[in-house]
Amino acid sequence: MPCTFLSSACRGLSALVLSVALAGPVLAANPEPNEAIEPAETLEGNFLSAYIAGVSRDTAAAVTFFREAIKEDPRNPELLERAFVAFLADGATADAFRLADRIVARDPSNSLAQFTIGVRALRAKQYATARAALQKGGRGRAADLTATLLTAWAHAGAGEGRKALETADRLKSERAFTQFREYHAGLIADLTKNPKEAERRLKAAYEADRNTLQIVNAYGRFEARRGNRDAAKEIFEGFEKVVPRHPIVRAALEDLKLGKPMAPAVATAQEGAAEVLYGLGVVGSAQSDELTAIVYLRLALHLDPDHELALMTLADVYERLKQYDRANEVLARIPENSPLRTSAQISIGTNYELLGRGEEAVMQLEQLLKEQPDNVDVISALANVLRSRKRWAEAAEVTSRAIAQIGEPGPGHWLLYFQRGTSYERAKQWDKAEPDLKKALELVPDTRPTDRAQVLNYLAYSWVDMGMNIDEAFKMLQQAVELSPRDGMIIDSLGWAYYRLGRYDDAVRELERAVELRPGDPVLNDHLGDAYWKVGRQREARFQWNHARDSNPEHDDLVRILRKIDNGLDVKPAAADSPAAPTGTAQNGG
């Protein structure tokens, strides 16, 4: 669900969490996630360690240190509130609920604690208790949205359909909440056996936004259950045109084709309340508010442990924080019968590669490919891991299997041709690379300017590097810069093309722009050093080469850079020393 589902109304939703959040910037995650965490020997040491872990969003470590700190200072209100958020974020709900009770006993106005108690009561089907806690916890615009809809679901759980809809309709004064209100009102009406109202509300939500998966899924399933299977098919196919091959939509269309019955999107009040929390978690994630997103998603999963989209979103947040082990733990919870199971298994393999466990990544994806030999997504993921491991020829071969599956290529297939073309280029098979890169350029739509810039960049630089089609290549590089004017890597390609043609003043101008945009990139600094040397600015050249040396270049580049620091460019480099084309998506030609 995109963040537009709640529009600008959710800009303040993180207030519930941030009122007691672990203060400080988001830092890199624990670089050694498998390293055993040992508590400190003092209260102060555990508190400080928990604080540092918290601002790094390493909730597992934070929980360990907070548990020890609480043993020594069990009445410290600041310690309890910080530990409470850490427990929530880590999924330690039993601990979080105990602390919530202690916090509200001292401070009944604590919104997040009351809110959490309300969620616990919803899970236990204690609907009156849930409503009482939620009423105490609702403060502010975003909190009011959350409390109102969860209260509506509490009424629905108690069989009070009319009261539930009346509660949801309290949000009528907020235009930005319209889709969220109509969507949940439709789900509530469906659960409480009010099909006429359910149809009206779900249709209103769908008419307002046909590109949100949850709305499409709920409305399509509702129509199918009413016997309107053609209408349901049209709803799902409309989404398929916007987001091709989404697993949930493909599964729904297959069920419709086979005449299988379709379950409702939400079958219990707990699942409905989880859907509210999931939606808020998505908004937090979209706004890069990771802590808020994690807390809402964890609470959603407390209510509905198999909520597949909440699991996928939570894993995505952990991946963004570079906590790939935590992401894989979450992904492993995707039910085996879920349409998203394959996507989860692909992500697990990709995360192994990012963890430096490349052979496990290849094994994971090869095993998945044995089970689903025609799955384009699996084939493409395996090819990407092989590319990451610089096994270019194998990557190209695997990508060919994906291309063989697609039939007539369309705009959505440009990336496959681009990936195979760049793999062939890196494997020094230009005769195969060039046609694929041209095909990618033909397929990539104008509506994706950044992607088009990458394809233009890669193909044009490759021509320049080989002294081919120079005039056309320069036009393409200039067009790429126009499409992506803040991409330092593409500007570097244009500057390096000037360098290769001996237009050193022009090269300096463009390469200085590129380095200004990406000052820590070793390739760009290396290029600028070469250009400075050619225009007689030798001291500045060595400064740039030294900076390139200190910026973690690849081994072959480092050897060449060190030679230039010692000897300058007086000795003509061997052909093998020519800067290589980029890996992955084309980012620069140097």
pLDDT at 244: 82
Higher pLDDT, 380 or 45: 380
- Alpha-carbon torsion 561, 562, 568, 573, what sign? negative
Higher pLDDT, 411 or 35: 411
Q: Is residue 477 part of a domain?
A: yes
- Alpha-carbon torsion 493, 495, 497, 499, what sign? negative
Question: What are the phi and psi torsion angles at 540 (to 5°)?
Answer: -65, -35
What span, in angstroms and rounded, lies between the C-alpha atoms of 172 and 448?
A: 37
Mean pLDDT of 69-78: 84
Q: Is residue 546 part of a domain?
A: yes
Residue 343's Cβ-count burial label (10 Å; 0-12, 13-18, 19+) is: buried
Q: Is residue 386 part of a domain?
A: no
What span, in angstroms and rounded, lies between the C-alpha atoms of 536 and 424?
A: 37
173: pLDDT confidence band, cut at 50, 70 and 90? low
pLDDT at 464: 87
581: pLDDT confidence band, cut at 50, 70 and 90? very low
Sequence-separated (6 or more) residues with CB below 8 Å from residue 364 = 345, 348, 349, 352
Kindly tell me if the per-residue pLDDT of 580 is higher than 80: no
**What is the value of pTM for the model shown?**
0.78
**Mean pLDDT taken over the chain:** 87
Higher pLDDT, 21 or 75: 75
pLDDT in tens, 98-136: 999 999 999 998 889 999 999 999 999 999 999 999 988
pLDDT in tens, 327-367: 999 999 999 999 999 999 999 999 999 999 999 999 999 99
Closest CA to 111 of 85, 86, 87: 85
- Alpha-carbon torsion 337, 157, 311, 93, what sign? negative
Kindly tell me if the per-residue pLDDT of 13 is higher than 50: no
- Range from 17-26, 74-83, 235-244, 268-277 carrying the lowest mean pLDDT: 17-26
pLDDT at 8: 32
Ranges of H-type helices in 518-554: 522-534, 538-549
What span, in angstroms and rounded, lies between the C-alpha atoms of 378 and 372?
A: 8
Q: Is residue 496 part of a domain?
A: yes
pLDDT in tens, 484-517: 999 999 999 999 999 988 999 999 999 999 999 9
DSSP annotation of 172 reads G
Q: Is residue 212 part of a domain?
A: no
45: pLDDT confidence band, cut at 50, 70 and 90? confident
Q: Is residue 532 part of a domain?
A: yes
Q: Is residue 589 part of a domain?
A: yes
Q: What is the CATH number of the domain that holds 517?
A: 1.25.40.10
Instruction: Count how many domains the chain has.
Output: 1
Mean pLDDT of 275-279: 96
pLDDT at 74: 83
Kindly tell me if the per-residue pLDDT of 520 is higher than 60: yes
- % helix, strand, coil for the chain, step of 5: 75, 0, 25
What span, in angstroms and rounded, lies between the C-alpha atoms of 244 and 223?
A: 21
What residue type is assigned to position 121 of the chain?
Answer: A
How far apart are the two ends of the chain, measured CA to CA in Å? 39
- What range defines the domain where residue 566 resides? 446-590
Kindly tell me if the per-residue pLDDT of 537 is higher than 90: yes
Kindly tell me if the per-residue pLDDT of 164 is higher than 60: yes
49: pLDDT confidence band, cut at 50, 70 and 90? confident
139: pLDDT confidence band, cut at 50, 70 and 90? low
Write the DSSP assignment of 304-339 as a string of letters: -TT-HHHHHHHHHHHHHTT-HHHHHHHHTTS-TTST
Q: Is residue 582 part of a domain?
A: yes
Q: Are 589 and 488 in contact (CB under 8 A)?
A: no
Structure tokens at 188: 């509530």
Mean pLDDT of 194-201: 97
Kindly tell me if the per-residue pLDDT of 443 is higher than 90: yes
CB-side exposure of 398: number of CA atoms within 13 Å?
26
DSSP annotation of 29 reads P
Distance of CA 164 to the CA centre of its chain: 34
pLDDT in tens, 552-569: 998 889 999 999 999 999
- Range from 20-34, 51-65, 280-294 carrying the lowest mean pLDDT: 20-34
